[in-house]
Amino acid sequence: MSGKGIRIEGLKKRYGEGNTAVYALKNVDMQVDAGEVVGLIGPSGSGKTTLLKCLGAVIDPTEGRMTLGNEVIFDNGWKVRDLRALRRDKIGFVFQAPYLIPFLDVTDNVALLPMLAGAPNEEARKRAKDLLAALDVQHRANAMPSQLSGGEQQRVAIARGLVNRPPIILADEPTAPLDSARAMAVIRILNNMAQEFETAIIVVTHDEKIIPTFKRIYHIRDGITHEEVGEGRNIE
Amino acid sequence: MINLASRDILHAWGKFVFTGIGLGLLIGVTLVMAGVYRGMVDDGKALLDNSRADLWVVQKDTLGPYAESSSVNDDIYRSIMLMPGIQQAVNVTYLTMQVRKEGKDVRAMVVGITPNTEPTYPGWPPYLVSGRQITRSHYEAVADVKTGFQLGDKITIRRNKYEVVGLTRRMVSSSGDPMIFIPLKDAQEAQFLKDNDAILQSRRRVEGNPVFNQPGIPNLLEATLAAQNTNSYVNAVLIRLAPDFSSEEVAENITRWKRLTVYTRIQMEAILVGKLIATSAKQIAMFLVILAVVSAAIVAFIIYTLTMDKIREIAVLKLIGTRNRTIASMILQQALALGFIGFIVGKISATFAAPAFPKYVLLTPQDSIAGFFIVMLICTLASIVAIRIAIKVDPAEAIGG
């Protein structure tokens, strides 16, 4: 593994105590390198969302170890102190619905993250505009989210996830609301961005159209992950 | 850093402005209520200021002449004039009644003043806006412009007609009724004037009473009848002190030697504000409390609704690393902005509505400043519920499942 990427070893998540204890994650082992896009698939109730929440540092795992780049962020009960800063600086999120802030224009939706990290407004906006240009939505930079198409909104959401150059992006069903062409466009963008920014991207999906595009896939069932080699179909 | 509150307000400006207008009208009513109380106090003070008296001599053990009825003999002022420290002493009567003009009537306080003194004496209207002061001993009147009377109007007080010869302004009773000044003798007569049937009945009773109708004392019956039909009482004697005399000292002297009750300016103000309008003040205070609670409830409800509408956005903001205090600040600023819009609308509406009220509404800058800070405090308190909800939002809500 290079200096970036994420490694998860023996991750478990238990809800409840004693007789009522339920393990949502029983044994998760994953490794995603920088520049790689992997799929995470599994039926409903298999533990996908719980794993995503653990990776996103919004809930604490019960056991196991998570390493982000060279930094251990969780180790059997010990965790990084400032999870909020961790989420802001080291983890990018792309959701099923774009969840853009409706009262901010496209540029400020993207620029908000560097601003939260302390970047001056002008610098944050410049970074946002550069990224919007890279994602081919620079012409909507001053539009409000409600004025964008679904595909444009998702590209802005991807730009927001990438703007702080996080080592990992968690994408939760990013193509679910999109038609085939737009879904493939989003996957192409994620692949390009992963390469360009050396970001590890985990895509949680049920979308049969995009599953063949992954070179590696993690299946999760009953809280246990199994690694598979994907088709890695060309999406150009 | 972007100001999230201002962006949200600009995005949903219609909701904020219309809510602010609604809240503003409520704040306007609150300011007017406070203005009504201030107006009542000011009316009381204007009554005292305009009388230009240093002391009020009234019937023993009464709170007259404004808060209770009071009768003193109309010649007592002569002996008071001879006491040390007295510069001017004049009789005065006050009578609140309906004054008629051509079939319409106006509620007014009729003040009897001594016409053979100078207008600089206590009791006289201190200034006129048009016309002249009373110069004749009967049937002339000076009216406050609030009565609606014009110069030359003929008004009816009891059975007599008076010509309005002068108009004055801001001469009101403690309850806000405009004043009409007439000669003292006319006012004394008006105060106790009986109707013709009552006079006839009274004469018959006296003539039938052997105590008053004694053939051996020929003038007794005439004297008794004359005494019954004249009023030799006034409500108070107003006193202006000579320079270098303290009001307490002179008041004590009159109380001791004349066995009357004397009030200084401070005591009379305490009677007017503390007793005469105390119940109204409490009533207004209750309304102000209710309006404050209703305003707080409205702001709290609006801010709560606006926050609940943004729960998903708040979860996303928290997930991407926004501090709780940034989100709390956004909600607080929105509540304060709502209060600010409401206060501006309220202040403008109160300013324009105040003159339309029948009673004097005094909007003071101090009340406006205090009102502004109270509104801001209410908005701050009202945002607490929404802030607590926003802080409790789990960033995990942004991730499905």
Distance CA(A207)–CA(A211), nearest Å, equals 6
Q: SS in 3 state form for chain A?
A: CCCCCEEEEEEEEEECCHHHCEEEEEEEEEEECCCCEEEEECCCCCCHHHHHHHHCCCCCCCEEEEEECCEEEEECCEECCCHHHHHHHHEEEECCCCCCCCCCCHHHHHHHHHHHCCCCHHHHHHHHHHHHHHCCCHHHCCCCHHHCCHHHHHHHHHHHHHCCCCCEEEEECCCCCCCHHHHHHHHHHHHHHHHHHCCEEEEECCCCCCHHHCCEEEEEECCEEEEEECCCCCCC
Together in a domain, B66 and B164: yes
Mean pLDDT of chain A: 89
On whether any CB of chain A is under 8 Å from the CB of B325, the answer is: no
CATH (domain of A133): 3.40.50.300
The angle that helices B278-308 and B311-319 make with each other, rounded to 10 degrees, is 60
The pTM score is: 0.77
**Cross-chain CB nearest to B400 (options A49, A115, A144):** A49
On whether any CB of chain B is under 8 Å from the CB of A95, the answer is: yes
Cross-chain Cβ contact B398/A144 below 8 Å: no
pLDDT at residue A2 is higher than 60: no
Residue B166, in any domain of the structure:
yes
**Cross-chain CB nearest to B321 (options A116, A121, A172):** A116
CA-wise closest residue to B171 among B110, B235, B87, B237: B110
Specify the higher pLDDT residue, A134 or B62: B62
* CA distances (Å), origin B177, targets B33, B107, B171, B219, B275: 18, 6, 9, 44, 18
To the nearest whole Å, the CA of B392 is away from the closest chain A CA by 13
Residue A180, in any domain of the structure:
yes
Q: How many Cβ atoms sit within 10 Å of the Cβ of residue B188?
A: 21
Together in a domain, B20 and B103: no
Q: Which residues form the domain of B123?
A: 60-194+229-259
Together in a domain, B77 and B16: no
Q: Which residues form the domain of A181?
A: 34-59+82-217+224-229
Across the A:B interface, residue pairs with CB atoms under 8 Å apart total: 80
Q: Are A137 and A106 in contact (CB under 8 A)?
A: yes
Together in a domain, B137 and B282: no
Most confident of A149-153, A181-185, B60-64, B249-253: B249-253
The 10s digit of each residue's pLDDT in B309-337 is: 889 889 999 988 899 999 999 999 999 99
To the nearest whole Å, the CA of A101 is away from the closest chain B CA by 6
**Cross-chain CB nearest to A102 (options B1, B11, B318):** B11
On whether any CB of chain B is under 8 Å from the CB of A101, the answer is: yes
Half-sphere exposure of B286 (CA within 13 A, CB side): 6
Cross-chain Cβ contact A103/B11 below 8 Å: yes
Structure tokens at B359: 């009673």
In this prediction, residues B224-233 reach a mean pLDDT of 79
On whether any CB of chain A is under 8 Å from the CB of B321, the answer is: yes
With cut-offs at 50, 70 and 90, classify the pLDDT of residue B345. Answer: very high
**Cross-chain CB nearest to B399 (options A52, A104, A117):** A52
Domain count of chain B?
A: 2
Structure tokens at A81: 């102190």
- B21-56 burial string, b = 16+ CB within 10 Å, else e? eebbbbbbbbbbbbbbbbbbbbbbebbbebbbbbbb
Residue A20, in any domain of the structure:
no
On whether any CB of chain A is under 8 Å from the CB of B68, the answer is: no
pLDDT at residue B401 is higher than 60: no
Residue A65, in any domain of the structure:
no
**Cross-chain CB nearest to B8 (options A48, A50, A103):** A103
Which residue's entry shows tokens 């400043």?
A: B369
Together in a domain, B27 and B69: no
Together in a domain, B125 and B160: yes
Question: B-chain residues within 8 Å CB-CB of A58?
Answer: 319, 394-396, 399
The 10s digit of each residue's pLDDT in B161-184 is: 999 999 999 898 888 899 999 999
Residue A115 pairs in a beta bridge with none
Cross-chain Cβ contact B394/A58 below 8 Å: yes
Residue A234, in any domain of the structure:
no
Question: B-chain residues within 8 Å CB-CB of A115?
Answer: 1-2
On whether any CB of chain A is under 8 Å from the CB of B319, the answer is: yes
Residue B265, in any domain of the structure:
no
The 10s digit of each residue's pLDDT in A166-187 is: 889 999 888 887 788 888 888 8
pLDDT, position A1: 45
On whether any CB of chain B is under 8 Å from the CB of A89, the answer is: yes
